[in-house]
Amino acid sequence: MDTIPQPIPLAPHPGRFAEASLIGPDHPDRRTVEAFIARIYAERFGADVRTFMPHLLAYRDTQGELVAAVGMRRASEGALFVEHYLDAPVETVLAGRVPAPPGRPQIAEVGHFAASTPGVARELIVQLAWVLGAAQVDWVLFVATQQLRNAFVRLHLSPIELAVARAERMGRGAADWGRYYQSQPRVMCGDIREGNAFLRGLACPVALPASACGAGDAR
């Protein structure tokens, strides 16, 4: 994700975020952000998250407290985690679902969706769309529970469902996810340009259910 501009841009929406940081594998805050994500997923699902996406985006409030984080990976960097759940490469799947199919350089996946409160969770969605647009990503893929899908509906966004995220696709690793697969996860995709066009006129301080704060796939 080396096309993300620095400093990380913040969307012009009211909210709690004061600072955003791109956290790579060697960043001094890497362990802190990973621990934050792992704690959120342990609390929400009883999950044991031990592996993370190569790029993490961390948000802090005006007091400097870490309040949200999300992982990112561009499809041109290699296989995507969401492709575990698909029967073909993501660009092939999208070719059958969208009018102008993108190549892998225009596709990214996000995961590790973790937020400290319901309100922060909604703000994270808005900010993430803004950053991905700035990074020249056209389509984003993610795994979303029912609660996270509801959050997108409340934002009047309409991601496309591609597949059910089935536990058996993870093999023995499914046991690490606790109650996660009871939350009806689905593989979704969204048009970043379309989403940002709508969000430019949207105020974001609307609460989410608490269960949505750790509602995305954490790989």
Q: Is the dihedral of CA 64, 70, 71, 75 positive or negative?
A: negative
CATH tag, 19-214: 3.40.630.30
Higher-confidence residue of 216 and 37: namely: 37
- Cα 29 → chain centroid: 19
Alpha-carbon distance of 110 to 219, in angstroms, equals 9
What's the one-letter identity of residue 127? Q
Burial class (CB in 10 A: 0-12, 13-18, 19+), 123: buried
SS3 annotation, 133-154: HHCCCCEEEEEECHHHHHHHHH
Alpha-carbon distance of 98 to 92, in angstroms, equals 11
Cross-strand bridge partners of residue 140: 108, 190
| 185 has pLDDT over 70 | yes
Q: What is the pTM of this model?
A: 0.86
- Per-residue pLDDT tens digits for 61-93: 999 999 999 999 999 999 999 999 999 999 999
Left, alpha or beta for 56 (phi > 0: left; psi -120 to 50: alpha)?
beta
- Per-residue pLDDT tens digits for 5-52: 888 878 777 678 999 999 999 999 999 999 999 999 999 999 999 999
Cross-strand bridge partners of residue 69: 58, 114
Alpha-carbon distance of 125 to 16, in angstroms, equals 13
Alpha carbon separation from 31 to 2, 84, 102, 160, 172 (Å, rounded): 21, 26, 34, 33, 25
pLDDT score for 207: 35
Question: Where do the structural domains in the chain lie, given as residue ranges?
Answer: 19-214
